[in-house]
Chains A and B, each alone.
Chain A
């Protein structure tokens, strides 16, 4: 007989009766929402509703940004409760979440990933590097930000941006497309 302490099930059962570990959602800055709403109005395409599928692409990051993006999936930030989820293929994505200063060695791979992503899509540049090359600006090996290859819809600065900052940006995207989705009903 295993001691009870060694088993997973009692612990899982206990979790059913305790409050969730997830933090409350962060507030979304109005100005960002407004700007994104206007952008969306210009795109006359129907969208999926109140959920977004995100494909992350590392285009030269130091992996600090990836650590924080991964942290969005832990139970404290719990990205999926907002209808946001990471997908494995760009063909399933609404959002390309791109990090890094865009190395020359990654440019083509990023462009091909973007070409596989159905329109309309959002491109989010996350991290100081992705915004304008960050400290790697001016190197022979980098293009100097995601904007060098793709039109960028949203910038999330920070080195790296915290999970909370990333969440604010992604929730702003959700809020921006909500009125459009409602109007279609």
Chain B
């Protein structure tokens, strides 16, 4: 066995002794029902300091989670209060011309809120000193909207590599790119004897998305990894703006192809909230069927690939067969293997085709039958366990500070799952597996447990598929529904994809066109932790660590 140096050392990010305690599968933090579902008249528990500060700002027309416009002074006070409020998670930070928005989750209460701050003269007080997860958002906001975070931890460019014809392409009036040459990227440095660098990418050896990884290595051990992304920036936000929701939905479904259902659903949820329309029960159930099939095929795929990266090809081959079965069933039922464009604002595009129900059940029965055997093989082969156990550890403290979601969070003790909290229809009782080890093995095991849960959910959803229409029409001309001339309506959608929660915010004008939009992939808050996970591991274990995260490149490159 290759017991490499640096693997067994104490975890510098180990949770403090009084940190959150982790129960086994199915344990959920005690949270009240979301405010919208609270019985009328019952007094809601009081806000924490940060939420109370935010609520002092002027309320905007955002549903179902409120948005408040703060003046820069109050925003600064909020940024300072954040430092003393570890239970408040920063979920996203984005902008529109002249204003920045930040979305927060009170982890103890399951409440979500958006705070906004006008960026007078293109500047706003930074959040990154209090929330490390804000760093990449602030760099992105500067690159796309030209707004500078004052006091930011890091102001190097992120998405803008100096190759676009414009500077600040989403600003009110973007400037032409007048730089004479493409600048060289700057990387964080490491000092010490025998430290050398390994540059990798953007074109990688395998069939994966492009990105640059800069390793600082001492001997075989990674001292620091820094990722440089942005190679896939397609300008999705710019393309969505000004389009009707139904058209923009196609871009949401192509933010990250592996999460097309989850992103399309989160976007649709935001649009529906903004317009105050409720999709029919049949549409919600079919969305959940598709979302669980998506979770299944991705979990199977990545489980196989993690094993493959540990040179255990048999599990990869079997997982590939099972996954292909799920994709073929999806194609039969929904007419597309990845189920792209099947979730539309207002409902779903079409009913399952004849034979679809049976095809899905058959494919899932095969998975269910083989899962125990695959699990037994995974657990009982020392050569595989040696590679995954204790490799790429992320501590609970870091996961909490970054508010990393999905299996990255749940493998390190953060129990958040948007299906449970804040929760959304049709999900009622999702078992959320949580582990504390935070290594490659724990991330794999979370996904193995979720495969079982998805199998159960799909079966239950298909058994009780409600009858009725597939979609509701969206109000179009001004005067219909919430659309009023001269006013914007806003919505926020939060949907648990296989990777974690997909968050979409939209602002819609009286003509039904998008005036503001931000699609946030869960990878935003997971990518930085990969850099921590790899530290102290050997270079050869990087692919294993990377695959166990499987962050989306396209999803964060926008």
B468 at the A interface (CB under 8 A): no
A75 at the B interface (CB under 8 A): yes
For A136, the closest partner residue in chain B by CB is B234
B7 at the A interface (CB under 8 A): no
Q: A62-B255, A139-B238 known; A160 and B380 CB under 8 Å? A: no
Q: Which residues of A contact B554 (CB under 8 A)?
A: 61-63
Contact between A64 and B232, CB atoms less than 8 A apart = no
A60 at the B interface (CB under 8 A): yes
Contact between A64 and B254, CB atoms less than 8 A apart = yes
B320 at the A interface (CB under 8 A): yes
Contact between A58 and B327, CB atoms less than 8 A apart = no
Q: A58-B208, A142-B234 known; A75 and B256 CB under 8 Å? A: no
Q: Which of B207-239 contact A (CB under 8 A)?
A: 207-210, 230-236, 238-239
Contact between B232 and A60, CB atoms less than 8 A apart = yes
**Complex Cα spacing A105 to B229, Å:** 10
Q: Which of B373-397 contact A (CB under 8 A)?
A: 373, 376-377, 379-381
Stretch in contact with the other chain, from A4-12, A27-35, A40-48, A170-178: A4-12
Q: Which residues of B contact A70 (CB under 8 A)?
A: 207, 301
For A101, the closest partner residue in chain B by CB is B234
Q: Which residues of A contact B236 (CB under 8 A)?
A: 136, 139
Q: Which residues of A contact B376 (CB under 8 A)?
A: 5-6
Shortest CB distance B292–A (Å): 17
**Complex Cα spacing A71 to B231, Å:** 24
Contact between B258 and A103, CB atoms less than 8 A apart = no
B479 at the A interface (CB under 8 A): no
Contact between B169 and A141, CB atoms less than 8 A apart = yes
A44-79 vs B, Cβ < 8 Å mask (1 yes, 0 no): 000000000000111111111111111101111000
Stretch in contact with the other chain, from B108-116, B157-165, B446-454: B157-165
B257 interface neighbour in A61, A75, A141, Cβ under 8 Å: A61
Most buried by B among A59, A101, A106: A106
B159-192 vs A, Cβ < 8 Å mask (1 yes, 0 no): 0010111100100000000000010000000000
Contact between B314 and A76, CB atoms less than 8 A apart = no
Shortest CB distance B457–A (Å): 22
Q: A103-B233, A140-B238 known; A63 and B209 CB under 8 Å? A: yes
Q: How large is the interface on B (under 10, 10 to 19, 20 to 34, 35 or more residues)?
A: 35 or more
B377 interface neighbour in A8, A60, A103, Cβ under 8 Å: A8
**Complex Cα spacing A103 to B250, Å:** 18
**Complex Cα spacing A108 to B201, Å:** 12
Contact between B552 and A106, CB atoms less than 8 A apart = no
Contact between B163 and A74, CB atoms less than 8 A apart = no
Q: Which residues of A contact B257 (CB under 8 A)?
A: 61-67, 160
Contact between B377 and A141, CB atoms less than 8 A apart = no
Contact between A140 and B321, CB atoms less than 8 A apart = no
Contact between B232 and A61, CB atoms less than 8 A apart = yes
Q: Which residues of A contact B203 (CB under 8 A)?
A: 57, 90, 109-110, 113
Shortest CB distance A71–B (Å): 6
Contact between A5 and B373, CB atoms less than 8 A apart = yes
Q: A57-B203, A162-B337 known; A74 and B321 CB under 8 Å? A: yes
Contact between A140 and B254, CB atoms less than 8 A apart = no
For B250, the closest partner residue in chain A by CB is A135
B234 interface neighbour in A56, A60, A68, Cβ under 8 Å: A60
B317 at the A interface (CB under 8 A): yes
A-B contacts counted at CB < 8 A amount to 147
Contact between B239 and A67, CB atoms less than 8 A apart = no
**Complex Cα spacing A21 to B91, Å:** 44
For B322, the closest partner residue in chain A by CB is A74
Most buried by B among A2, A57, A103, A139: A103
Shortest CB distance B243–A (Å): 11
A104 at the B interface (CB under 8 A): yes
Most buried by B among A7, A62, A67, A90: A62
Contact between B258 and A67, CB atoms less than 8 A apart = yes
Q: Which residues of A contact B235 (CB under 8 A)?
A: 136, 139-142
B324 at the A interface (CB under 8 A): yes
Q: Which residues of B contact A66 (CB under 8 A)?
A: 207-209, 257
Q: A8-B377, A63-B257 known; A68 and B233 CB under 8 Å? A: no
A86 at the B interface (CB under 8 A): yes
Most buried by A among B169, B234, B324, B373: B234
Contact between A103 and B234, CB atoms less than 8 A apart = yes
B205 at the A interface (CB under 8 A): yes
B94 at the A interface (CB under 8 A): no
Q: Which residues of B contact A75 (CB under 8 A)?
A: 317, 320-321
For A56, the closest partner residue in chain B by CB is B207
A147 at the B interface (CB under 8 A): no
A150 at the B interface (CB under 8 A): no
B338 at the A interface (CB under 8 A): yes
A131-145 vs B, Cβ < 8 Å mask (1 yes, 0 no): 000011011111000
Contact between B207 and A69, CB atoms less than 8 A apart = yes
Contact between A63 and B163, CB atoms less than 8 A apart = no
Contact between A105 and B233, CB atoms less than 8 A apart = yes
For B201, the closest partner residue in chain A by CB is A109
A181 at the B interface (CB under 8 A): no
Q: Which residues of B contact A136 (CB under 8 A)?
A: 234-236, 239
For B317, the closest partner residue in chain A by CB is A75
Contact between A74 and B373, CB atoms less than 8 A apart = no
**Complex Cα spacing A2 to B382, Å:** 13
Q: Which residues of B contact A11 (CB under 8 A)?
A: 314, 373, 377
Q: Which residues of B contact A5 (CB under 8 A)?
A: 373, 376
Contact between B202 and A135, CB atoms less than 8 A apart = no
Contact between A71 and B327, CB atoms less than 8 A apart = yes
B473 at the A interface (CB under 8 A): no
A121 at the B interface (CB under 8 A): no
A25 at the B interface (CB under 8 A): no
20 A-B residue pairs with Cβ-Cβ distance under 8 Å, sorted by A, are: A6-B380, A7-B380, A8-B314, A62-B255, A62-B257, A62-B260, A63-B554, A64-B338, A65-B257, A67-B258, A71-B327, A88-B206, A103-B231, A105-B231, A135-B239, A135-B250, A135-B251, A136-B236, A139-B236, A142-B234
The 9 closest A-B pairs by CB, nearest first: A64-B257, A74-B320, A139-B235, A88-B205, A141-B235, A62-B257, A62-B254, A104-B163, A6-B376
Give me 7 other A-B pairs in contact (C-beta within 8 A), A62-B260, A101-B234, A113-B203 excluded: A5-B373, A58-B207, A58-B208, A70-B301, A106-B231, A135-B254, A138-B239
